[in-house]
């Protein structure tokens, strides 16, 4: 697996506060890379930084080996990096299917048809409902479908399982497996649901106070004493379900 | 489809035979107001960009059409596209402000633009004839004169219907989807790869085109324009119209602008009362039917 996107010593500072300090990580095609850590660790800031919603203060981001300049969010999206948001950002007055169409209509060679995308996330039956009337979990799934409609090379998901019922979480984890294996998409997922992360992630990075404190295979990282102390707490995470 | 054909036939044949000139004149003003309202509806109701300079765009359309005819001897049909393009370009250029400014700032800046425009109309005597206004000739197309309100009505109606049909195409097509998306979530729109600035400029340009067309109609319908017809009160009236009708809805914009035209005609002799009436209408709508008149209709339709 070759690295599609690399972060090298990326810093994001807000005045005196360093939200992300010297973050170095990479995302490979066909791989799910999970970013975990306590609230305020800087996970969302990393996503914002990669997706062009937040300028980095220093450091370098490389896409396919080439330095990615400071671009606005739309330009980043056009280069194949799409995202979901921590608080769902839907086109609330549009129907479910039209939400997906907005992203889909830009694609010349879309990977999937709109109907197939809705089928994948299980929203076919509510395709013509107005997006604002969806249940919270469905809103999150719709965001994932919309992000996929752009046929991304790198998909950034900010807590996609928050508020999802267990069957929807199940669907999400199957979906993630499918898109990395079938389409070779690189996925970065920020998530608090550790069992889900354990199931889908090929690699995990842990952030704490803006620093990446561990990176590696799920078993190694989740059993790392520093990670347990900073994030997972006293209980043995491997017994969590 | 049959019902629509019937409506068109009735609208075409009936008014010019049974109504008085004054009533037909009011119909013409209603058509003008419909064009203004649907343009504003696209920007404020659909794309949620709080631009408050309809009055100025309307004035650009009216003055460009008037000046082209009076000073350069152009025909109505030759001046019409120029009026549309001029208002469209000014509106598109003003959208550059919306690229950066938030809602409140955009509202204030566009409001200021409207005031400056009126100042310009008053003081650019050489071009606009200043506060004395400009007498605009009646349209004459291929030797046929459109002077009486009934004749003008037959000229305006098909063009207005065409403009509404184009609006409908925009609204239901890819562009309409983007404009709604812009109004709902700019970050999400960006994440799909669309540049919000381009979408904003397109929305403003379309509003400009509609206001320009409305202005050219207005100049022809009234036969006289002065700077005071294109101030903030026009913008407020159209804003009230689309709010009464239901923000974002085409049917709402139509119903709202016709309602407002009638209120306006009844209260024409009471200048202060007119603005007060807009305010009262707005209050009633926001308190009783927040989704406007179109909201009531669609709710009844969806009942079993």
Residue B138 lies in a domain: yes
Which residues in A lie closer than 8 A to residue B189 (C-beta atoms)? 74, 91, 102
- Rounded CA-CA distance A149/B187 in Å is 16
- How many angstroms away from the CA of A76 is the closest CA of chain B? 7
Task: Check if the beta carbon of residue A95 is closer than 8 Å to that of residue A128.
Answer: yes
Residue in chain A closest to B193 (alpha carbons) equals A74
A46-99 pLDDT tens trace: 999 999 999 999 999 999 889 999 899 999 999 999 999 999 999 999 999 999
Mind listing the domains of chain A with CATH numbers?
Answer: 1-79+202-233 (3.40.50.300), 82-152 (no CATH)
Among A72, A90, A103, the residue with its CB nearest the CB of B185 is: A90
Based on the structure, what is the number of domains in chain B?
1
Q: Which of A53, A102, A144, A155 is the best mutation test for B, with the most CBs of B within 10 A? A: A102
More confident of the two residues A126 and B15: A126
- From B221, B225, B261, B226, select the one nearest B240 (Cα to Cα): B261
Provide the residue range defining the domain that includes B154. 22-230
Taking CB atoms within 8 Å and a gap of at least 24, the contacts of A52-56 are: A52/A76, A52/A77, A52/A81, A52/B190, A53/B187, A53/B190, A54/A12, A55/A12, A56/A10, A56/A11, A56/A12, A56/A20
pLDDT of residue B298: 64
- Rounded CA-CA distance A32/A42 in Å is 19
Q: Which two structure tokens, joined as six digits, stand for A93?
A: 């007055």
Among A73, A93, A105, the residue with its CB nearest the CB of B190 is: A73
B224-238 pLDDT tens trace: 999 999 988 889 889
Residue B212 lies in a domain: yes
Mean pLDDT of all residues belonging to chain B = 90
- Please give the sequence-ordered ranges of beta strands (E in DSSP) within chain B, or none if there are none: 134-135, 140-141, 144-145, 224-225
- Rounded CA-CA distance B271/B228 in Å is 13
Task: Check if the beta carbon of residue A200 is closer than 8 Å to that of residue A32.
Answer: yes
- How many angstroms away from the CA of A227 is the closest CA of chain B? 32
Among A77, A90, A93, the residue with its CB nearest the CB of B190 is: A77
Neighbours of B36 (CB within 10 A): 31
Residue B257 lies in a domain: no
pLDDT of residue A132: 93
Which residues in A lie closer than 8 A to residue B184 (C-beta atoms)? 90-94
Which residues in B lie closer than 8 A to residue A147 (C-beta atoms)? 191
Residue B250 lies in a domain: no
- How many angstroms away from the CA of A77 is the closest CA of chain B? 5
**Residues A207, A213, A215, A220: is their CA dihedral positive or negative?**
negative
Residue B294 lies in a domain: no
Pairing of strands B134-135, A186-190: unpaired
Task: Check if the beta carbon of residue A19 is closer than 8 Å to that of residue A12.
Answer: yes
- Give B173: exposed, middle or buried? Use CB within 10 Å, 0-12, 13-18, 19+: exposed
* Phi, then psi, of A206 in degrees rounded to 5: -115, 130
Q: Do A74 and B196 touch (CB under 8 A)?
A: yes
Q: pTM to 2 decimals?
A: 0.90
Q: Please give the average per-residue pLDDT across B270-294, as a whole number.
A: 82
Residue B119 lies in a domain: yes
Task: Check if the beta carbon of residue B164 is closer than 8 Å to that of residue B248.
Answer: no
Q: Do B178 and A146 touch (CB under 8 A)?
A: no
- From B120, B95, B104, select the one nearest B207 (Cα to Cα): B95
Q: Which of B192, B196, B249, B250 is the best mutation test for A, with the most CBs of A within 10 A? A: B192
Residue B110 lies in a domain: yes
- From A135, A160, A155, select the one nearest B192 (Cα to Cα): A155
- How many angstroms away from the CA of B77 is the closest CA of chain A? 37
pLDDT of residue A240: 43
- How many angstroms away from the CA of B262 is the closest CA of chain A? 31
- How many angstroms away from the CA of B303 is the closest CA of chain A? 16
pLDDT-based confidence at residue A2 (cuts at 50, 70, 90): low
Residue listed under structure tokens 């030759």 = B78
pLDDT-based confidence at residue B287 (cuts at 50, 70, 90): confident
Distance from the first to the final alpha carbon of chain B: 24
pLDDT-based confidence at residue B19 (cuts at 50, 70, 90): confident
Flag whether the ipTM exceeds 0.85: yes
Count A/B contacts: CB-CB distance under 8 Å.
Answer: 74
Among B187, B192, B195, the residue with its CB nearest the CB of A102 is: B192
Residues with Cβ within 8 Å of B276's Cβ and at least 6 positions away in sequence, in order, are none
- From B171, B159, B143, select the one nearest B83 (Cα to Cα): B159
Task: Check if the beta carbon of residue B142 is closer than 8 Å to that of residue B75.
Answer: no
B105-156 pLDDT tens trace: 899 999 999 999 999 999 998 889 989 999 999 998 888 889 899 999 999 9
Q: Do B177 and A101 touch (CB under 8 A)?
A: yes
- How many angstroms away from the CA of A88 is the closest CA of chain B? 9
Residues with Cβ within 8 Å of A133's Cβ and at least 6 positions away in sequence, in order, are none
pLDDT of residue B118: 93
Residue B77 lies in a domain: yes
Residue in chain B closest to A82 (alpha carbons) equals B191
Chain A contact residues (CB < 8 Å to B): 51-53, 72-75, 77-78, 82-83, 85, 89-94, 98, 101-103, 105-106, 146-147, 149-150
Per-state percent for chain A, helix, strand, coil, to nearest 5: 40, 25, 35
């Amino acid at each position: 697996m070759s690295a599609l996107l690399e972060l090298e010593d990326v810093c994001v500072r807000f005045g005196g506060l360093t939200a992300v300090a010297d973050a170095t990580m990479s995302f490979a095609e066909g791989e799910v890379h999970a970013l975990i850590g306590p609230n305020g660790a800087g996970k969302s800031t990393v996503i914002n930084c990669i997706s062009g919603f937040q300028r980095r203060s220093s450091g370098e981001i490389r896409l396919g080996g080439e330095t990615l300049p400071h671009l606005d969010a739309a330009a980043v999206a056009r280069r194949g990096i799409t995202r979901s948001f921590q608080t769902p950002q839907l086109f609330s007055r549009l129907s479910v299917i039209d939400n997906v169409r907005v992203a889909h209509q830009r694609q010349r060679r879309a990977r999937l048809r709109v109907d197939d995308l809705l089928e994948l996330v299980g929203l076919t039956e509510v395709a013509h409902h107005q997006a604002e009337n969806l249940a919270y979990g469905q809103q999150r799934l719709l965001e994932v479908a919309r992000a996929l409609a752009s046929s991304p090379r790198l998909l950034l998901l900010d807590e996609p399982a928050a508020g999802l019922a267990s069957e929807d979480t199940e669907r999400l984890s199957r979906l993630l497996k499918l898109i990395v294996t079938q389409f070779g998409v690189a996925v970065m997922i920020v998530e608090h649901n550790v069992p889900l992360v354990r199931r889908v992630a090929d690699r995990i990075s842990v952030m704490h106070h803006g620093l990446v404190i561990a990176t590696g295979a799920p078993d190694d990282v989740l059993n790392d004493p520093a990670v347990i102390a900073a994030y997972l707490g006293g209980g043995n995470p491997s017994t969590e379900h | 489809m049959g019902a629509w054909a019937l409506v068109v036939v009735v609208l075409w044949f009936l008014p010019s035979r049974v109504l008085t000139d004054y009533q037909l004149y009011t119909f013409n003003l209603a058509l003008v107001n419909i064009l203004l309202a649907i343009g504003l509806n696209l920007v404020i109701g659909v794309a949620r960009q709080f631009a408050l300079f309809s009055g100025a765009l309307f004035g650009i359309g009216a003055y460009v059409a008037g000046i082209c005819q009076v000073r350069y001897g152009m025909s109505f049909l030759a001046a019409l596209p120029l009026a549309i393009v001029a208002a469209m370009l000014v509106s598109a250029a003003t959208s550059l402000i919306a690229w950066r400014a938030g809602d409140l700032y955009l509202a204030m800046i566009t409001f200021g633009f409207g005031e400056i425009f009126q100042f310009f109309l008053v003081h650019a005597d050489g071009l606009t004839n200043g506060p004395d206004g400009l007498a605009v000739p009646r349209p004459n197309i291929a030797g046929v004169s459109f002077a009486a309100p009934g004749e003008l009505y037959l000229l305006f109606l098909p063009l207005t219907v065409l403009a509404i049909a184009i609006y409908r195409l925009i609204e239901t097509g890819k562009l309409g989807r983007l404009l709604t998306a812009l109004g709902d979530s700019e970050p999400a729109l960006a994440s799909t790869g669309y540049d919000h600035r381009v979408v904003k400029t397109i929305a403003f340009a379309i509003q400009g085109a509609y206001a320009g067309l409305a202005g050219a109609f207005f100049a022809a319908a009234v036969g006289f324009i002065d700077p005071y017809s294109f101030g903030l009160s026009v913008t407020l009236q159209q804003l009230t119209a689309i709010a009464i009708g239901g923000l974002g809805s085409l049917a709402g914009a139509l119903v709202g602008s016709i309602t407002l035209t009638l209120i306006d005609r009844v209260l024409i002799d009471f200048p202060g009362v007119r603005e007060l009436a807009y305010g009262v209408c707005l209050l009633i709508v926001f308190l009783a039917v927040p989704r406007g008149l179109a909201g009531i209709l669609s709710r009844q339709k969806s009942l079993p």
